[in-house]
Structure 1
Amino acid sequence: MQFWSVDGADEILGKRVRVDRLDSRTLERGHTKTFACWVWTKDFANIPTKHTLGVLPRGAGRIEEMEGFSPPDRRVAPPPATADYEMLIHVDRVED
């Protein structure tokens, strides 16, 4: 999973939240249904409560081209259906 990193957590939580580090439970990846990290923020209301992740099928967006042949038309194909996953964000502990 591309979000299984500090950079991924930064992207999900937004610009008003600074990810300090991943929790040891997350680094071990023994249980991949939860993702735990330590963050800094001025106001915990800046932490979003959910994030929707859309996953494209493998190979989506790639064009198969045959050398020497032009495509029959220039229309753009509709985007493939995505599998949407809603990630719930929970604040477990607040330290001051």
Structure 2
Amino acid sequence: MGYGLGVFLMALGLILAFAVSDVIEGVDLTMVGYILVLAGILIVALTAFQANRGRSASNVTRTTHADGRQTVTEQRNESDPPPAV
């Protein structure tokens, strides 16, 4: 999955919804087109969400002291997105 698949499904769906006037018995091509457009939008959104999640990392450190106490330290690192080309 990726941006390419999402854009492809949106383009195919828009062609079926608005440019095709053929009739297939039992199949509404306009509705199939709208479904493909929605699937393409969902794929693009999920791909963007996954790409954004992968840029953050966290480290958890537990330190046990001599008297038995524990200290927990958490660091979160978020990197900036790569520059647009």
Could you state the TM-score of these two structures normalised by the residue count of structure 1? 0.27
> Max radius of gyration: which structure?
2
Greater percentage in helix: 2
TM-score by length of structure 2 reads 0.29
